Amino acid sequence: MLFNSIDFVLFLPIVFLIYWGVVYKSIKLQNIFIIVASYFFYGWWDWRFLFLIATSTLVDFFIGIALEKQDLQKKRKALLWVSILTNIGILGFFKYYNFFLDNFVNAFSLFGKEFSATSLQIIVPVGISFYTFQTISYSVDVYKKKISPTTDFFAFAAFVCFFPQLVAGPIERAKHLLPQFKRKRNFVYDEGVDGLKQILWGFFKKMVIADNCARYADLAFSNTTDYTSSSLVLGVLFFSFQIYADFSGYSDIAIGVARLFGFNLKQNFATPYFSRSIIEFWRRWHISLSTWFRDYVYIPLGGRRSSTIGFIRSILIVFVISGFWHGASWTFIIWGGYHAVMYLITYFFASKGQVKKSVTIIDKVVCIFKIITTFSVVSIGWIFFRAKNLNSAFEYITHLFSKSLFSVPNFADIRSLSVVLFFITLLLMIEWKGREAPYAIKYILYKKHKIMRWSFYALLLFFIGMYTNTDEIPFIYFQF
């Protein structure tokens, strides 16, 4: 079920009313109802894949209990590997089977050997990369004795399948989210209002910014040779804001919906396009995934405690795996490797001094230059992320830097394009104003008269209504 669908518009208030009006007296009943609602939410897309969520839930719940009872380190490690291999096995089969098979066949052909194998028509289950990582982190944390395993099956099952963040995160840690399923939840009006505001901002970013940017990004990436370099520059710009508004919009909606049910999810984006370096960008972009790789891959590999060679190796591994996590394609692997190289260049050659606040005009100019440079580096990387294959990516880059770079863009509908650029500018202004808040409009017009605030919210609703598409456009990260 998509957030931006009529189905969800009907689903959410019904679930909300039952949750707070019928089952609110019992934590157990609330959790059972969340499980039922979440399975219905996910099964609306394809009920057949509910067994995968159920499998991950059952395996990791009982693995956690077994780890607590087991003292022998060898057996504890064996139990942990059962959890990891089960989850990675499910993820690997459904998401990467054909990728490895095709590359295995191609490897044989390089040596003049013929090897035939039949690819399977596998549908990648929505959200599989997210909930498998969430359950793996639970087992690892129990193994390392950072948390105690829960014996409350319904609380754990609700933690795994919680519908606001089930299909595209944020990837929550058991230490933060699981205890919230064990304590009594009461509806707090102010938190509900705050959640609705964040939902509103998320829908604005998705339906007004992302979906409009998508039209021009799709044109540029689908018909690269038909457009001038200046048009391709705009194509990259539009995709950069499409993927940001699309994914951060989803995160805002997920966090806001969770607030309606008395839960607090972690912030997943912190105005990443205002970063002054690639290192800072990765502290602000998809925070739940970045910190997951930091804690469960980078630190176990040695991190900064290792030698220089070890540190470089760790960074390369983390970013390449991160790229591969996004999709079974060499474009994602190259995208991850590209960011690894940019990260290392920044780490070894950028100034190690503490970032100071912009005070003088020169400081502000330098800050703006760093932001623009970082955004440009990130945007070039998005070419690999968006392209359908490596040939298309390199073709795009080749045509990007040509003599027509300073020509007038040759998109057909310049007026509509100008409107999209206006909305991007509006987005940047609002996000800059609210950059210190958990989401941009949390404190916008906070100290102003109520009429001004509600007029602003009404304006956002007007834009959302204006650009509501009869064709429900899925969120980009649903495919991951």
Q: Are residues 173 and 196 in the same domain?
A: no
Q: Which residue has the tokens 């959200």?
A: 127
Same domain, 237 and 373: yes
Together in a domain, 427 and 464: yes
Residue 456 exposed, middle or buried by CB count within 10 Å (0-12, 13-18, 19+):
middle
Last residue of a domain, one of 186, 205, 238: 186
* Residues involved in catalysis: 326
92 and 237 assigned to the same domain: no
List Cα–Cα distances, 354 to 167, 300, 351, 371, in angstroms. Answer: 38, 27, 8, 16
Q: Last residue of some domain: 160, 186, 212?
A: 186
- Total domains in the chain come to 2
pLDDT of residue 470: 64
Nearest CA to 367 out of 280, 441, 477, 427 is that of 280
Q: pLDDT of the chain along its 480 residues, tens only?
A: 788 888 999 999 999 999 999 999 899 999 999 999 999 999 988 888 899 999 999 999 999 999 999 989 999 999 999 999 999 999 988 888 777 776 666 666 666 666 555 666 677 788 888 999 999 999 999 999 999 999 999 999 999 999 999 988 899 999 999 999 999 999 999 999 999 999 999 999 999 999 999 999 999 999 998 899 999 999 999 999 999 999 999 999 999 999 999 999 999 999 999 999 999 999 999 999 999 999 999 999 988 888 899 999 999 999 999 999 998 899 999 999 999 999 999 999 876 555 556 578 888 898 999 999 999 999 999 999 999 999 999 999 999 988 888 888 888 888 889 999 999 999 999 999 999 999 999 988 887 788 898 999 999 999 999 988 767 788 887 776
> Helix count (H) and strand count (E) of the chain?
18, 0
Q: Does 365 reside within a domain?
A: yes
Q: Are 103 and 229 in a shared domain?
A: no
Residue 348 lies in a domain: no
**In a domain? residue 35:** yes
DSSP of 302-363, one letter per residue?
TGGGS-HHHHHHHHHHHHHHHHHHH-SSHHHHHHHHHHHHHHHHHHHHS--SPPPPP-SHHH
Q: Do 199 and 181 fall within a single domain?
A: no
| Residue owning tokens 């909305």 | 423
Say yes or no: 119 and 262 in one domain: no
416 and 474 inside one domain: yes
421-443 burial code (b ≥16 CB/10 A, e <16): bebbeebeebbeebeebbbbbee
In a domain, 301, yes or no: no
**What is the Cα–Cα distance from 301 to 317, expressed in whole angstroms?**
9
- Whether 329 maps to a domain, the answer reads no
Q: What letter would DSSP give residue 402?
A: S
Q: Is residue 344 part of a domain?
A: no
Check: CB of residue 260 under 8 Å from CB of residue 16: yes
Q: Same domain for 173 and 205?
A: no
Same domain assignment for residues 215 and 163: no
125/267 same-domain check: no
- In this structure, are 256 and 401 located in the same domain? yes
Tokens of 185: 């939840």
Q: What range does the domain containing 98 cover? A: 6-186
Looking at 129, 162, 186, which one is the last position of a domain?
A: 186
Give domain status of residue 21, yes or no.
yes
In a domain, 31, yes or no: yes
